Structure formats: structure tokens, C-alpha cells
């Protein structure tokens, strides 16, 4: 029993912080990094659209979109490096650049049209699928995992009846927009909607935990999916407490 408790504690540490406790034995089947892992970097990149990209796109959409060029260029240069570690980091950055570009295009110019959200976010889907069979496998893995999170979020919004509030909140003045966003968040707290979003969250968590056991590339996708859940939960909390911090106003 003691060994089993130690093993479970190690698995929790790997999933949450990307590293195992140094004094405990590593669980079988999990590669424990001795430096900042790409899984943790992927998780941090998932947070950038909410805390960096959203406010930047809101005020300077063209600047946000053009930032794709240095992101993609740096990723390609690193991805072609003979160093395996740099090549993996570069591939991850290429995948993030794809997500950044699609997000900038939608939130910069099409954000009042929620039905366009997923199609625009999926513009790089053919490249991502093709990348899964090349040296850009990590790029495709990150992009596809991010897209899966976006699709789940949009589907949950549609099923909980929040889609009509989307364009209304984004087109309103700052004060009114905050009230509309809070109204939308409060609707999520009704019993039926809580059941719906809990189901989506459980499904995504199940996908993430399943991917975690399938190797390095799938583990990066798992970190991306699980972090998306955490970011969505944080976003709802921010809307309830301080709408201006959500990045949408």
C-alpha cells in the first residue's frame, strides 16, 4: 500500500507540475524530465491566448496577427536544428504559431460571428494532420489538441444556450459587456448546465489521461487538453469576479 501511494503521488506531480518529487521513486511507464519539459511549456502556451493574445487582439488585431511571422520563423529555424531538444521545441512553437494565427484572425475581425469561430480556428487543420507523419509531429499534436479544446468549448456554449449572448456581449459598451458576460457565466451555474459542462469536462479529462499513456507526442497533447480545461474554468471565474480581466472587454 505504501508503494502504491508513492506511485500515485508521483503520477499527480507529473500531471500537474511536469516533474516528479526527487525523493520518491518514479512510476513505471512515465518519463520524468530533469529539466523544464515540453509538456509544461505546452501547458503554459495554452494560457497565452487568454492572458496575452486576447487583450492584444482587442486593441491591435493587425499587430497580433503579424506576430505570427516571428513565432513561425523562430519555430521553423529551431525545428530544423540538428539538436533533438531544439527541434522538438521548434515544432511545438510552429504548432502554437498556427493556433495564434487562427485565433488572431477570428478575434480580430470575425468575433461577432460565433458560428465562424471553429471553422477559422481550423484553417490550419490540413497542415496539422499532414505534420503528424513528419518531423513536425509535435506541431500537429499541439494544434489538434488545442482545436479539440476549442470545439468542446464551443459545443458546450451552444448546448447551454450561451451562443446568443456572445455577439451581444462583444458588441456592447464596456460596462454593459461586463454585465452580459456575468449573466452568461451565471447561466452556466444552473443545475442542467452544470451537468452538461461537467460531462464535457469529464470527457476531455478522460481523453487527456488516455493520451498521457501513449508516448511523448501524445503526452504533449494531453497536457494541452487538460490545461485547456483549467483555463476555461479560470476564464469563467474571472468573468464572475472581474469581467475586465477576461480579455474580451
Average pLDDT over residues 108-113: 94
The C-alpha atoms of residue 18 and residue 6 are separated, in whole angstroms, by: 16
Q: How many domains does the chain have?
A: 1
Domain housing 148? 37-246
Torsion angle of C-alpha atoms 193, 196, 200, 201, degrees rounded to 10: 60
Q: Over 80: is that where the pLDDT of 26 sits?
A: no
- Specify the pLDDT at position 35: 40
In a domain, 81, yes or no: yes
Total Cβ atoms within 10 A of residue 47: 15
Better pLDDT: 206 or 181 = 206
In a domain, 2, yes or no: no
Q: What is the pLDDT of residues 133-185, one digit of tens each?
A: 999 999 999 999 999 999 999 999 999 999 988 888 888 887 788 888 888 88
Over the Cα atoms of the chain, what is R_g? 19
Per-residue confidence at 216, pLDDT binned at 50, 70, 90?
confident
The pLDDT tens digits of the residues spanning 28-57 come to 433 434 345 889 999 999 998 888 898 899
Q: Considering only CA atoms, which of 50, 37, 15, 66 is closest in space to residue 149? A: 50
Instruction: Using the predicted structure, report yes or no on whether residue 17 has a pLDDT greater than 50.
Output: no
The pLDDT tens digits of the residues spanning 220-236 come to 999 999 999 999 998 88
Q: If you average pLDDT over residues 103-110, what whole number do you get?
A: 96
pLDDT band at 248, cuts 50/70/90?
Answer: low
Domain annotation covers residue 20 = no
Residue 75 in domain: yes
Q: Are 105 and 65 in contact (CB under 8 A)?
A: yes
pTM for the full model? Answer: 0.83
Residue 23 lies in a domain: no
The yes-or-no verdict on residue 76 having pLDDT over 50 is: yes
Check pLDDT > 90 for residue 128: yes
In sequence order, the 6+-apart residues with CB closer than 8 A to the CB of 212 are 15, 218, 219, 222
Question: What residues contact 186, with CB distance under 8 A and at least 6 apart?
Answer: 240
Quick check: 74 and 82 in contact, CB under 8 A? no
Give me the mean pLDDT over the 71-100 stretch: 96
Angle at 149 between CA 143 and CA 151, to 5 degrees: 100
DSSP conformational letter for 107:
I
Return the pLDDT at 14: 41
What gap in Å lies between CA 137 and CA 121, rounded to an integer? 19
**Domain membership flag for residue 32:** no
pLDDT of residue 84: 92
Task: Name the 3-class secondary structure at 117.
Answer: helix
189 within domain boundaries? yes
Asked, for residue 26, whether it belongs to a domain, the answer is no
| pLDDT at residue 201 is higher than 90 | yes
More confidently predicted of 27 and 150: 150
Q: Which ranges of 34-164 does DSSP label H, i.e. alpha helix?
A: 38-48, 54-59, 61-66, 68-79, 84-105, 117-121, 125-131, 137-159
Burial environment of residue 191 by CB neighbours within 10 A (0 to 12, 13 to 18, 19 or more): exposed
Percent of the chain with pLDDT over 70: 83
Amino acid at each position: 500500500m505504501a508503494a502504491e501511494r508513492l506511485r500515485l503521488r508521483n503520477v499527480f506531480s507529473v500531471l500537474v507540475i511536469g516533474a516528479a518529487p526527487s525523493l520518491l521513486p518514479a512510476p513505471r511507464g512515465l518519463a520524468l524530465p530533469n529539466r523544464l519539459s515540453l509538456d509544461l511549456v505546452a501547458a503554459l502556451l495554452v494560457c497565452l491566448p487568454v492572458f496575452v493574445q486576447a487583450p492584444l487582439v482587442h486593441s491591435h488585431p493587425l499587430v497580433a496577427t503579424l506576430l505570427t511571422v516571428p513565432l513561425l520563423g523562430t519555430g521553423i529555424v529551431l525545428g530544423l536544428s540538428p539538436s533533438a531538444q531544439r527541434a522538438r521545441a521548434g515544432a511545438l512553437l510552429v504548432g502554437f504559431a498556427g493556433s495564434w494565427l487562427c485565433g488572431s484572425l477570428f478575434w480580430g475581425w470575425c468575433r461577432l460571428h460565433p458560428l465562424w469561430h471553429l471553422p477559422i480556428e481550423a484553417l490550419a487543420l490540413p497542415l496539422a494532420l499532414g505534420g503528424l507523419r513528419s518531423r513536425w509531429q509535435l506541431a500537429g499534436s499541439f494544434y489538434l489538441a488545442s482545436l479539440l479544446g476549442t470545439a468542446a468549448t464551443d459545443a458546450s456554449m451552444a448546448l447551454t444556450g450561451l451562443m446568443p449572448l456572445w455577439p451581444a456581449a462583444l458588441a456592447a459598451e464596456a460596462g454593459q459587456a461586463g454585465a452580459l458576460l456575468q449573466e452568461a457565466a451565471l447561466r452556466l451555474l444552473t443545475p442542467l448546465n452544470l451537468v452538461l459542462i461537467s460531462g464535457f469536462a469529464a470527457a476531455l479529462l478522460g481523453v487527456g489521461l488516455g493520451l498521457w499513456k501513449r508516448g511523448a507526442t501524445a503526452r504533449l497533447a494531453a497536457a494541452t487538453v487538460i490545461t485547456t480545461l483549467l483555463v476555461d474554468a479560470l476564464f469563467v471565474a474571472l468573468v464572475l469576479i472581474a469581467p475586465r480581466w477576461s480579455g474580451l472587454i
